Chains A and B, each alone.
Chain A
């Protein structure tokens, strides 16, 4: 596996399946550790401000947890190209995050010291998770793992100068930040208190909703207590976090139990499924039953939309798509998936793919700040919609097959919103229709293409309809086709 890139600098880097880090991937303790690391991150005023300003985080804090998990998996994978893409994407993402917090202090997600802290919390939590579960790492392993995390930071930032070179110095660095810089930020409070009120059932209990309904009242606060008890003492004191009798014992017990579950048969429980379960919306007491009914209603609406979106063949012809055409649609949707949507080229659609697309479009269209944010938000909303529509197997990503099968249901309100934002960005004179000039300008600047023909002005609805047909892969050969495929 690592032989793919012989002779490159990567050979020296401790990534890949042999790394200490990847040993934790299927470790259920890792879920607890990431929650803990997220609290410590959020307690940093800079990170906390960035998180609290991000409305998605406030509404769906678990999602960031999940993104961290997925992103780290990419970063620690074997393929250097995937790693580079992921690093570039993270940098683009963070470049968007800057501003000032509620007390007027500036924050910037590109700040090197801040980013070093994020990596530091992940490393420290990994070490702590082993310590708390009674299987502490030996010094050698710990040092190897520290080197991996520094390499992780270097892949992001170019170098790891912000983290001490030596593990011994790291602990002093860590303690100093905890004691001097961490605060009881809004973001940390969100995680600690609000989240644990609404805890979705873990994947393990999906089959037993009533059991979970009863257990949830206990499990939410328990997970909260476990996390709180695992935080460094100086921070607990400063943030005024409650000392609950028995919580430390409970916490160690939980880590121990989570550690022991590693000996269960594979697939019974792993960090990914725990994190996926946590990413579910809060009101899903019985995800299965809900999924089934929702799916049925969604299929009905999807086929309605599919019929409505199918372009009329002339004025006379009857429009309903015959089965052969449906097959055709499916094929073109898969093709579309590979050429346009899967920007990371890993065979799956994920938020980074859509973020990259939003990024490209706004760069090429040279959007000003409010519009860029609107476009970005619109893509984010579409991703949520996609996840909701396609998260049937709960692996959190969308494969080409799944996409093609579900394609009609994808044109929900959020995707329509994307089209509208593009329309507004193109309609420079704001007269409610894109004239031939504006249409041509859109394609020349956004997609580097000259159009040979346009048939006059495009109204909002016509534009949206065209865009939807294109995005759902229902219409190849529209002007968009070669264009976004290159985007």
Chain B
């Protein structure tokens, strides 16, 4: 575990990032370059996911978030979506024991759409319940996630709670986001060279550093991941002169 005192602000000589997020991009292109169906790319992504989880845990990252499926991904072809649902279910079940043994707390951000198969939703619940008491790294899988939707939900929750408009602050607003204990994202890694935010954790990435490596997600391995952590440590984070409040963290 890294020391918490330096969270959110990187010194020049570098504490590592506390919260790292990955936008796992490039599975389709990886498959196309090999003249394989897109589904083969998704299948190859599994190895990279496990590699990154192990590397992050070993490097002392406290929070790891993986963007697995966006609210926009429902627009893909029916067969691809169906394949993804089956694949995710298989991966979750397969790795559940190791995640438990590694002390990783798992949870799933989003998961609201009724199109998600009931069995998959049950597996998500089970894995979260199974690992809820773990005190190692927290792994958040953003599945059927949209940053705007989270913000709208927070707004609804605020209005329902009857909070007077004048009392709404950033801190209070953040408390109504899903998983309010999640700290701000320090570093986002988006693979395959795409440079977009794509509606990902809009509130939490406000002050995040981004890296956009050319590597396609299925080719990403632990050494690459560590290199990005290193690059982060060399960056001088200024927060635009704004202090580094963590999201909803009552510290």
Interface size class of B (residues with CB under 8 A): 20 to 34
Q: How far is the CA of A462 from the CA of B125 in the complex (A)?
A: 21
Stretch at the interface among B16-24, B94-102, B147-155, B175-183: B94-102
Q: If the complex has contacts A297-B133, A318-B119, A319-B119, are A416 and B126 also in contact, measured as CB distance less than 8 A?
A: no
> B189 an interface residue at 8 Å Cβ cutoff?
no
B90 touches A460 (CB 8 A): no
Report if B129 contacts A (CB, 8 A).
yes
Complex-state Cα separation, A301 to B122, whole angstroms: 13
B123 CB–A CB distance under 8 Å: yes
Summarize A's interface: helix, strand, loop or mixed. Answer: helix
Asked whether A110 is an interface residue with its Cβ less than 8 Å from the other chain, the reply is no
Stretch among A140-148, A302-310, A353-361 lining the B interface: A302-310
Residue B127 CB within 8 A of the other chain: yes
A305-B100 CB under 8 A given contacts A312-B93, A318-B119, A319-B119: yes
Q: Is B86 an interface position by the 8 A CB rule?
A: yes
Interface flag for A454 (CB, 8 Å): no
Which residues of the partner chain B approach A460 to less than 8 Å between Cβ atoms? 98
Which residues of chain B in 81-134 are interfacial with respect to chain A, using CB atoms and an 8 Å cutoff? 86, 89-90, 92-98, 100-101, 103, 118-119, 122-123, 125-127, 129-130, 132-133
User: Chain A's nearest CB lies how many Å from the CB of B16?
Assistant: 25
Q: Are B130 and A309 in contact (CB under 8 A)?
A: no
Is the CB–CB distance between B94 and A461 below 8 Å?
A: yes
**Chain A residue nearest to B47 in the complex (CB):** A459
User: A308 CA to B97 CA in the complex, in Å?
Assistant: 9
The answer to whether B130 touches A304 (Cβ under 8 A) is yes
The residue from B50, B101, B103, B130 contacting A308, defined by CB atoms under 8 A apart: B130
- Chain A residues with Cβ under 8 A from B86's Cβ? 315
Closest to A319 in B: B119
A66 within 8 A of B: no
Instruction: Please judge, given known A-B contacts A297-B133, A301-B129, whether A416 and B98 are in contact too, CB under 8 Å.
Output: yes
Decide: B122 and A465 in contact? CB cutoff 8 A.
Answer: no
Contacts of B92 in A (CB 8 A): 308
- Say whether B98 contacts A308, CB under 8 Å: no
> In the assembled complex, how far is the CB of residue B225 from the closest CB belonging to chain A, in whole angstroms?
16
Q: Is the CB of B93 within 8 A of A308?
A: yes
Q: State the CA gap A451–B162 with chains docked (Å).
A: 67
Q: A308-B96, A416-B100, A462-B94 are in contact. Are A320 and B122 (CB under 8 A)?
A: yes
Closest to B123 in A: A308
Given contacts A301-B130, A304-B126, A304-B130, are A416 and B90 in contact (CB under 8 A)? Answer: no
Distance from A472 Cβ to chain B, minimum over Cβ atoms (Å): 11
Q: Which of A305, A312, A417 contacts B96 (CB 8 A)?
A: A305
Q: CB of A160 within 8 A of chain B?
A: no
What residues on B are CB-neighbors of A318 within 8 Å? 118-119
- Contact between chains at B90 and A304 (CB < 8 Å): no
- CB pair B127 A416 closer than 8 Å: no
* Inter-chain contact A304/B97, CB cutoff 8 Å: no
Q: How far is the CA of A461 from the CA of B95 in the complex (A)?
A: 6
A465–B126 CB distance below 8 A? no
Nearest chain-B residue to A460 (Cβ)?
B98
Minimum CB–CB distance for A312 against chain B, Å: 7
Closest to A301 in B: B130
- Given the interface contacts A312-B90, A315-B86, A461-B94, does A420 sit within 8 Å of B130 by beta carbon? no
**In the complex, chain B residues whose CB is within 8 Å of the CB of A416:** 97-98, 100-101
Q: B97, A468: Cβ atoms under 8 Å? A: yes
For residue B129, which residues in chain A have a CB less than 8 angstroms away from its CB?
300-301, 304
B130 and A461 within 8 A (CB)? no
Contacts of B118 on A, CB cut-off 8 Å? 318
Residue pairs across A and B with Cβ atoms less than 8 A apart, 26 shown, are: A301-B130, A304-B125, A304-B130, A305-B130, A307-B123, A308-B96, A308-B97, A308-B127, A308-B130, A309-B96, A309-B97, A312-B90, A318-B118, A319-B119, A411-B97, A412-B100, A413-B100, A413-B101, A416-B98, A416-B100, A417-B101, A461-B50, A461-B94, A461-B95, A464-B97, A464-B98
4 extra A-B contacts, CB within 8 A, seeds A304-B127, A412-B100, A465-B97: A305-B96, A308-B127, A416-B98, A465-B93
B interface residues, Cβ below 8 angstroms from A: 50, 86, 89-90, 92-98, 100-101, 103, 118-119, 122-123, 125-127, 129-130, 132-133
Interface residues of A (CB under 8 A from B): 297, 300-301, 304-305, 307-309, 312, 315, 318-320, 411-413, 416-417, 419-420, 460-462, 464-465, 468
